[in-house]
């Protein structure tokens, strides 16, 4: 029996237009506007498959994945179960992997994750669920893994395998080096994989070093495979897996050899595919100014030649000859035009330069001063993405206000709360202070709560509150490095964050309402935000969705017609030169200041690579032939 095909308008379109994609893409890749829509489509198809098998009294064997990526898919399956009565009684599941050494009741075990996210909410019999056991003694692991393979075979093989993709290109936990015929086994986790799991485990040191995973060969035996990927941080690895060579360095690339594999991705994860990044290489394009600039920047980077030195032959020999032909301009004219466009993105006046001609500046000269609102999803985000720009806006006389949307308390290490409580206790003891009973009781309750929850348990509200306050102090310090006093910063503590944890947040109207209130009250001239292309389950993406909803809900407000929304890519994949609308240069001193601000976040172990990424953008501008700056903070205008 075959699995129903992924029938959809997109697929029809794909098949009608194969030359576009097939030229570079070696795996069928469907791009949906967002993760919700994509997940809903996959869930609907999975539900059809389950029902179809039910009609003939047969079982369905599903291979399931963990991570944030499949969460919206699982939520949708639960909804179909609850609202449309879909039963899971004929579903047998095999999960891809499990951390080694974690007991099942550990909050980060995949056993727990799958039960929280799916199994506890549907009617699947427990004995039809298979998840590798991370507590098997080392000497039994080999046989255990062979047994896992055998159970999949005995069940009839996987009908449908759901996958996410790690930034190392892994599927399951098949890290670089995994061969195409590898089977279920123990594997050592890559550094980047452990880094990506650090927030879940409250620090990279706590992330297990190994895992049990199905092999690439096990996965390739599935009759149908759907790999999902969301957000800009996945764009690069998706491109390599889909368009690159098949290699054991990127286990997802082995899906190229599978006849029935599909990548289902959102727009943010698709941006590195050739058809979107260099569309002129796959078909005719509309050579408007933006497209020309893209092509010219690409050519300059590819040939490692400054823009103004490109000649006609460079265009013709690199597949961009059509640009010159279509405009009947010589390379020289196209170069100058694009060079100027990139040049005009550079400004030391991110709030606009009062009294200056602003025809070619990213921001308007008036009004001056401007009411500038900066929305920072987690406290460090504003400083990571635009620490230098904040300082400039303040110095240049604008009315700057930062709204810290979430408390960020989940990032604060236990030791910070522990130290705080100990200081109180020691203080009380050394002063032999009377009247400190309440403080002592408070400190003791913090110590007790920390001990009770253990290293990885969920913080009770009392501890989260304290951690949030510790972070507030650090945030004030960071703001003051950027020249902002305490009255310039506000904390919204959005409820989705306070009530959730990483990968499991759920946004609600309460979050949007709080931001809407701020916007309606403040009537800003400029807004700075981030998270538009983030992993949809991240606090950054959730905050952005809430902000976008609040902003769009106020579209009738008069102030909005004169308001620009600038986006930065704090924690997400950095912009490339051709994508930047405003580039704010930084001097070496400003870079030091920015580092100082980020370093104030002592209680969290955030390492986003800033300001190194700012230096890289400056290097990119330099190699295009523009002025050489120490570093650049980059922004894009939000087009709503
Ligand atoms: C982990 C899992 C993978 C998953 C990957 C990506 O490594 N073992 O199965 O695909 O993370 O995670 P996320 O979906 O959270 O980006």
pLDDT band, residue 93 (cuts 50/70/90): very high
- How is residue 275 written in tokens? 């058809």
| Same domain (yes/no): 383, 477 | yes
| Same domain (yes/no): 389, 336 | no
Looking at the DSSP bridge assignments, the partners of residue 183 are: none
| Same domain (yes/no): 156, 282 | no
User: What pLDDT does residue 283 have?
Assistant: 84
The pairing of beta strand 60-64 with beta strand 91-95:
parallel
65 lines ligand 1 (CB under 6 A): yes
Asked whether residue 220 is domain-assigned, the answer is yes
* pLDDT tens-digit map of 573-591: 889 999 999 999 999 999 9
108, 175, 363, 593: which one is catalytic? 175
Measure the CA–CA gap between 241 and 496, rounded to whole angstroms: 34
Asked whether residue 560 is domain-assigned, the answer is yes
Asked whether residue 15 is domain-assigned, the answer is no
Nearest to 635 by CA among 347, 402, 293: 347
Strand order in the sheet with 97-99: 97-99, 210-213, 185-188
pLDDT band, residue 304 (cuts 50/70/90): very high
If you take atom 9 of ligand 1, which residue's CA is the nearest one? 172
pLDDT at 308 over 90: yes
User: What pLDDT does residue 1 have?
Assistant: 45
Instruction: Give the CATH number of the domain where residue 458 resides.
Output: 3.40.50.10320
CA of 78 to the centre of ligand 1 (A): 21
Per cent of the chain over pLDDT 70 is 95
Asked whether residue 457 is domain-assigned, the answer is yes
CA of 26 to the centre of ligand 1 (A): 22
CA of 181 to the centre of ligand 1 (A): 21
Least confident segment among 182-186, 205-209, 614-618: 205-209
| Same domain (yes/no): 540, 589 | yes
CA of 245 to the centre of ligand 1 (A): 22
User: What pLDDT does residue 14 have?
Assistant: 55
CA of 239 to the centre of ligand 1 (A): 17
| Same domain (yes/no): 228, 130 | yes
Measure the CA–CA gap between 321 and 35, rounded to whole angstroms: 37
Instruction: Give the CATH number of the domain where residue 92 resides.
Output: 3.40.50.1360
- How is residue 274 written in tokens? 């050739």
Residues of the domain holding 626 = 371-413+451-637
| Same domain (yes/no): 231, 329 | no
Asked whether residue 459 is domain-assigned, the answer is yes
Measure the CA–CA gap between 420 and 416, rounded to whole angstroms: 6
User: What pLDDT does residue 40 have?
Assistant: 95
Pairwise pLDDT comparison (578 vs 12), residue with the higher score: 578
Measure the CA–CA gap between 129 and 91, rounded to whole angstroms: 9
Question: Which residues lie closer than 8 Å to 13 by C-beta, 6 or more apart?
Answer: none
Length of the chain counted residue by residue: 640
CA of 186 to the centre of ligand 1 (A): 17
Asked whether residue 504 is domain-assigned, the answer is yes
Asked whether residue 631 is domain-assigned, the answer is yes
Pocket probe mutation, ligand 1, options 39, 99, 165, 255, max atoms within 8 Å of Cβ: 165
User: What pLDDT does residue 608 have?
Assistant: 65
The pairing of beta strand 210-213 with beta strand 185-188:
antiparallel
193 lines ligand 1 (CB under 6 A): yes
- How is residue 308 written in tokens? 């103004």
User: What pLDDT does residue 35 have?
Assistant: 95
Measure the CA–CA gap between 307 and 41, rounded to whole angstroms: 44
CA of 346 to the centre of ligand 1 (A): 38
Least confident segment among 60-64, 347-351, 611-615: 611-615
Q: Please give the sequence-ordered ranges of beta strands (E in DSSP) within 147-218, or none if there are none.
A: 160-163, 185-188, 210-213
Measure the CA–CA gap between 248 and 262, rounded to whole angstroms: 19
| Same domain (yes/no): 330, 380 | no
pLDDT band, residue 315 (cuts 50/70/90): very high
* pLDDT tens-digit map of 252-283: 999 999 999 999 999 999 999 999 999 998 88
67 lines ligand 1 (CB under 6 A): yes
Average pLDDT score over residue span 27-48? 94
* Residue 384 CA from chain centroid, whole number: 15
Measure the CA–CA gap between 162 and 393, rounded to whole angstroms: 47
Average pLDDT score over residue span 237-261? 96
Helices (H) and strands (E) in the chain, counts: 24, 17
625 lines ligand 1 (CB under 6 A): no
Quick one: which atom of ligand 1 is closest to the CA of 96?
Answer: 9
Pocket probe mutation, ligand 1, options 131, 170, 539, max atoms within 8 Å of Cβ: 170
CA of 12 to the centre of ligand 1 (A): 30
If you take atom 5 of ligand 1, which residue's CA is the nearest one? 166
Residue 601, CB half-sphere, CA atoms under 13 Å: how many?
Answer: 25
Quick one: which atom of ligand 1 is closest to the CA of 65?
Answer: 9
User: What pLDDT does residue 23 have?
Assistant: 79
pLDDT at 46 over 50: yes
| Structural domain ending residue among the three candidates 275, 302, 320 | 275
- How is residue 591 written in tokens? 């870079």
165 lines ligand 1 (CB under 6 A): yes
User: What pLDDT does residue 13 have?
Assistant: 53
Burial class, 569, CB count within 10 angstroms (exposed 0-12 / middle 13-18 / buried 19+): buried
Annotate 625-636 with three-state secondary structure: CCCCCCEEEEEE
| Same domain (yes/no): 491, 377 | yes
pLDDT band, residue 503 (cuts 50/70/90): confident
Nearest to 574 by CA among 604, 517, 617: 617
Q: Is 429 a catalytic residue?
A: no
Least confident segment among 89-93, 284-288, 516-520: 284-288
| Same domain (yes/no): 263, 289 | no
69 lines ligand 1 (CB under 6 A): yes
| Same domain (yes/no): 333, 461 | no
* pTM of the model as a whole: 0.91
pLDDT band, residue 16 (cuts 50/70/90): low
If you take atom 6 of ligand 1, which residue's CA is the nearest one? 166
Name the residue with tokens 């709503």. Answer: 640
132 lines ligand 1 (CB under 6 A): no
Confirm if 604 and 380 have CB atoms less than 8 A apart: yes
27 lines ligand 1 (CB under 6 A): no
Q: Quickly count: other Cβ atoms within 10 Å of residue 268's Cβ.
A: 25
| Same domain (yes/no): 289, 265 | no
Asked whether residue 627 is domain-assigned, the answer is yes
| Same domain (yes/no): 288, 245 | no
Q: How far is CA 552 from each of CA 531, 556, 600, rounded to the nearest angstrom? A: 16, 9, 34
Confirm if 391 and 382 have CB atoms less than 8 A apart: no
| Structural domain ending residue among the three candidates 275, 291, 314 | 275
Nearest to 104 by CA among 89, 126, 121, 88: 126
| Residues 403/496/266/534 CA torsion (nearest 10 deg) | 40
Pocket probe mutation, ligand 1, options 39, 69, 72, 208, max atoms within 8 Å of Cβ: 69
pLDDT at 19 over 60: no
174 lines ligand 1 (CB under 6 A): no
Q: How far is CA 425 from each of CA 169, 415, 430, 444, rounded to the nearest angstrom? A: 48, 15, 9, 8
537 lines ligand 1 (CB under 6 A): no
Looking at the DSSP bridge assignments, the partners of residue 633 are: 584
Count: domains in the chain: 3
Nearest to 210 by CA among 107, 146, 136: 136
If you take atom 13 of ligand 1, which residue's CA is the nearest one? 67
166 lines ligand 1 (CB under 6 A): yes
534 lines ligand 1 (CB under 6 A): no
Nearest to 124 by CA among 177, 201, 46: 46
Pocket probe mutation, ligand 1, options 35, 64, 66, 207, max atoms within 8 Å of Cβ: 66
Q: How far is CA 390 from each of CA 9, 456, 488, 519, rounded to the nearest angstrom? A: 45, 36, 12, 19
pLDDT at 457 over 80: no
Evaluate the omega torsion of the peptide bond into residue 557 and state whether it is cis, within 30 degrees of 0: no
Measure the CA–CA gap between 563 and 345, rounded to whole angstroms: 18
């Amino acid at each position: 029996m075959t699995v129903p095909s992924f029938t959809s308008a997109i697929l029809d379109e794909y098949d009608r237009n194969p030359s576009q994609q097939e030229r570079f893409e070696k795996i069928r890749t469907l791009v949906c506007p967002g993760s919700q829509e994509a997940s809903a489509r996959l869930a609907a198809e999975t539900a059809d498959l389950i029902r179809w098998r039910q009609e003939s009294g047969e079982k369905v064997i599903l291979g399931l994945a963990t991570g944030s990526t499949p969460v919206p898919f699982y939520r949708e399956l639960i909804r179909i179960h609850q609202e449309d009565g879909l039963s899971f009684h004929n579903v047998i599941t095999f999960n891809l992997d499990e951390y080694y050494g974690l007991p099942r009741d550990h909050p980060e075990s995949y056993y727990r994750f799958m039960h929280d996210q799916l199994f506890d909410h549907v009617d699947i019999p427990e004995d039809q669920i298979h998840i590798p056991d991370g507590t098997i003694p080392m000497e039994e692991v080999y046989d255990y893994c062979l047994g896992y393979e055998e159970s999949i075979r005995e069940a009839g093989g996987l009908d449908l395998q759901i996958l996410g993709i790690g930034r190392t290109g892994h599927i399951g936990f098949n890290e670089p080096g995994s061969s195409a015929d590898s089977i279920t086994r123990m594997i050592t986790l890559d550094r980047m994989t452990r880094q990506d799991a650090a927030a879940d485990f409250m620090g990279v040191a706590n992330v297990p070093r190994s895992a049990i995973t199905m092999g690439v060969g096990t996965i390739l035996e599935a009759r149908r495979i759907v790999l999902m990927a969301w957000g800009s941080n996945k764009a690069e690895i998706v491109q390599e897996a889909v368009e690159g060579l098949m290699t054991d360095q990127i286990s997802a690339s082995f899906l190229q050899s599978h006849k029935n594999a599909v990548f289902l991705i959102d727009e943010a994860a698709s941006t590195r595919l050739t058809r979107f990044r260099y569309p002129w290489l796959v078909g005719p394009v509309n050579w408007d100014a933006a497209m020309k600039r893209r092509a010219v920047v690409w050519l300059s980077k590819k040939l490692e030649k400054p823009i103004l030195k490109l000649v006609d032959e460079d265009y013709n020999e690199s597949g961009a000859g059509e640009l010159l032909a279509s405009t009947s301009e010589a390379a020289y004219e196209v170069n100058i035009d694009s060079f100027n466009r990139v040049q005009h993105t550079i400004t030391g006046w991110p709030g606009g330069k009062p009294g200056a001609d602003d025809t070619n500046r990213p921001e308007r000269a008036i009004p001056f001063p401007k009411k500038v609102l900066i929305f920072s999803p987690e406290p460090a985000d504003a400083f990571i993405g635009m620490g230098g720009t904040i300082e400039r806006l303040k110095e240049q006389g604008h009315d700057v206000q930062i709204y810290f949307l979430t408390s960020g308390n989940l990032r604060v290490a236990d030791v910070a709360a522990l130290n705080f409580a100990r200081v109180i206790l020691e203080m009380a003891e050394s002063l032999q202070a009377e009247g400190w009973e309440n403080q002592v009781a408070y400190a003791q309750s913090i110590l007790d709560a920390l001990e009770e929850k253990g290293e990885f348990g969920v913080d009770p509200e009392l501890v989260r509150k304290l951690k949030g306050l510790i972070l507030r102090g650090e945030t004030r310090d960071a703001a003051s490095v950027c020249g902002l006093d305490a009255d310039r910063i506000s904390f919204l503590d959005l409820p989705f964050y306070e009530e959730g944890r990483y990968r499991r947040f759920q946004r609600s109207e309460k979050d949007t309402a709080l931001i809407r209130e701020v916007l309606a009250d403040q009537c800003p001239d400029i807004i700075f935000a981030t998270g538009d292309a983030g992993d949809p389950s991240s606090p950054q993406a959730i905050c952005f969705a809430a902000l976008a909803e609040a902003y769009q809900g106020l579209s009738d407000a008069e102030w909005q017609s004169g308001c620009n929304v600038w986006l930065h890519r704090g924690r997400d994949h950095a912009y490339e030169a051709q994508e930047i609308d405003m580039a704010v240069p930084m001097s070496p001193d400003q870079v030091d200041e920015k580092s100082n601000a980020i370093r104030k976040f002592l209680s969290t172990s955030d390492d986003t690579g800033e300001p190194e990424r700012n230096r890289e953008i400056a290097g990119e501008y330099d190699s295009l032939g523009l002025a050489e700056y120490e570093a650049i903070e980059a922004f894009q205008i939000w087009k709503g």
